[in-house]
Structure 1
Amino acid sequence: MVIVQLLLLLSAFSATAHLRTLFIIEPQIVSMAEAQVACKKKYNDLASVYNNEDNANLAQFLKIKRKAWIGLYRHQSSDKWSNGDDVTFSNLTGVCGSGSCCAAMKADGSWESLNCIEKRHFMCYKQDVGKETNYYIISGNMSWYEAQSYCRKNYTDLVSIRDQNQNEAVKTEGLTSSVSIWIGLLRDEWKWTDGGRSAYRNWATDQPRPSSSDCVVMMNTTSECGKWYSVPCSNAESALCYFINTTDVPPTVPDGLNISEKKIVYMTEAQAPCITNDTNHIIVYSDNDNAELALKIESGKKAWLGLCRGQSSDKWSNGDDVTFSNLTGACGSGSCCAAMKTDGSWESLNCTEKRNSMCYKHDTDLILNYHLILDPMSWYEAQRYCRKSYTDLVSIRDQNQNEAVKTSAMTRNTSFWIGLLCDDWEWTDGGRSAYRNWATGQPEVNLNCTVLTNSIDHDGKWYSVACDPSYLNNTAGIRTHFHIATGFCFIFFTLPSMFYNSIC
């Protein structure tokens, strides 16, 4: 059975944001030129990538150690603004040598050309609806690419400059910096096949290579998922394509091509922790994710999630690496969560207990601010509250930060939740999400896979179930539906007896 795997994304650089559908064509195609012909035959082109979200969603199509063409190729050197503006003004002097160069504004308002991986302060801007542009100088030292990601996440983008008046305004805002600051101008020799203006780049270490490696593939490796490599254009690779879509109707497949096949199979105990080379299921990071998924499930039905019982492990709520721990004891069987005591040590408690909690907010000046919440909640409720009102439950990376968090709660004499969760549930794609939405009394012992439900009483709640659901009979007959939503891939198959609806 051939299945089309689809993701809908909003293009960030179009006056009228287009709905872009991304997918992968297999098997290997002889060259990038032929890959582009194949993509354009019935669709638009090879995929152009505008931001981290695009890149992460495209990477989901690639199996480990696999790669595929994207639409970036070596061309003549040109300037481009990070936000896609026309380059109508420049105050740039010098060159940074071979490779990519990025512009940094000096104290006198002139721009110097630097290697983009150098560390600098930088200037973001925020474009409010119906209001003037506001500038924000960020004092954290980052590469140009890191600064671009930061500005896009917290503001609008790295600043672009269209004339001398705006150059003076940015210069004035940056006077507090004693060193030059990144602005949004990138000069490189790479161009998108569809003519897109995206200045987003996600090169792997020591990439791109010199000439003769003039085309680009996205790679999926364990350590560098979604990184880009320049390779000879004659290589034989798969192709990541896109087309502009304003409906939920999937594209037709050109003659002679196969769309990547994803088999939807029921889970068996032998597949623990329920991942195979052919099946990946959805990962859930937040209430918004969960609510959106629940809407895709027919009332009264269930759908697989990619959460399965594995080895017990610690994970921070915000996805940070666990590089430090001050945890003592265990809470017994089931999930345990960490609460900091007044002496700075952590105790392990059942996550459903009620405690005060410590949230943090990552403000624009890169300083972490801690907020003690004096409202006893379960760990899961505290996580939800912190994410809604601040950034997340606090994570702690070293002894110094542990002392800072301890000091922030010195006025209290009871322990409070921090963001550490210890449970034996793992996501099939290796995702670090510590979000859980268990129904009351869940998960049950010896039921090692997870479904999301849609019912009047338990809308969006999770239940642990046996990994072989052959005893279920949700519907009769065989029907195939494509349910598509921004940022997720949903392929729902309803088959008799042995299949759940599967969110892959």
Structure 2
Amino acid sequence: MDCLTLILLVLGFSLHSCSRFPPRKYYYVNLAMNWANAQLYCREKYSDLATITSMDDVSRLQPAFTYSWAWIGLADDPKSWRDSMGNDSNSWRSSATGETSKTGYKNWSGNIPSSTNGNENCVHMCSDGTWNDFPCGSYQSFVCYYVTNENKKTYVFISTLKTWTNARDYCRKYYTDLPMIENNVENTAVFSTKPANAEPWIGLYRVPWTWSDKTQSSFTNWLTNSPENYGGTQYCNAENPLHEWNDITCSAKFPFICHQVFKLKTTVRMTLKTRADLTDPATNSQILQQIEAELKRRGWTDFKMRWMIQPKKFENAKLTELPSF
């Protein structure tokens, strides 16, 4: 049983409710298809290719099956991070904003980014000023930036070797952040700051892999040493009979797992104590927006909400019959 607690700060009241999220029911489909066709089949016959966001979901999958692999709905589409700067959840983002590029500027080196070994999710600047994706746990020098009173970005080279995360934290503590590079002028400024042979971290990173139904989840169940992106073409995900995940070339043909999300109509009865006017449409809309945002953050999808405010009941009211004239 998962408990949901919402604190509606603007209106000054809290809501506490315990309920199960809408369950997903899983279906094994014994048809050999590539990942894209399996996705299409699941969307036509069910809800989508299987989304698995917890060990509870894993426990509701069928016991060990006889197939070598079965597709699930996790993929790392390279169109979102290799062919362009993209604006999907697995695209490159700036450390300073957490957002994808506003200009689409990029300065990759050769056939980079490549996601070699499936773990190159941070970016450093090469000695010639181009960019390279690199394992975030590697130790590199880095560049920080800060903004002057004249609203001008100033860059500082730090020679100490740190992981990308530790470099980011250092920049945030002593400056502003790792550099956000949105044009050639900024790239040249960062390049001019570093020594000739240095290859410092910059502020680009990404969180790979997204679910087909756009569910956001940090849960993973990878096999040891996976993902590895063997051959540079493994951008789709399948599970083995023990429900462990592995990245595989998307054109391979396997059976697959779909899920069906059951749409339930639920009435939640609440007693609210607040100075806010709950009959005011603007107030009601504000409350619903906060509740919907929290439910989406916790994994709910495809739902609608509306108010049904019951007339207030007055208890112990005394009816006095007036004389007629």
TM-score (norm: length of structure 2): 0.43
Larger Rg: 2
More helix per residue: 2
TM-score (norm: length of structure 1): 0.31
Of structures 1 and 2, the one with the larger relative CO (CA 8 A, separation 6+) is 2
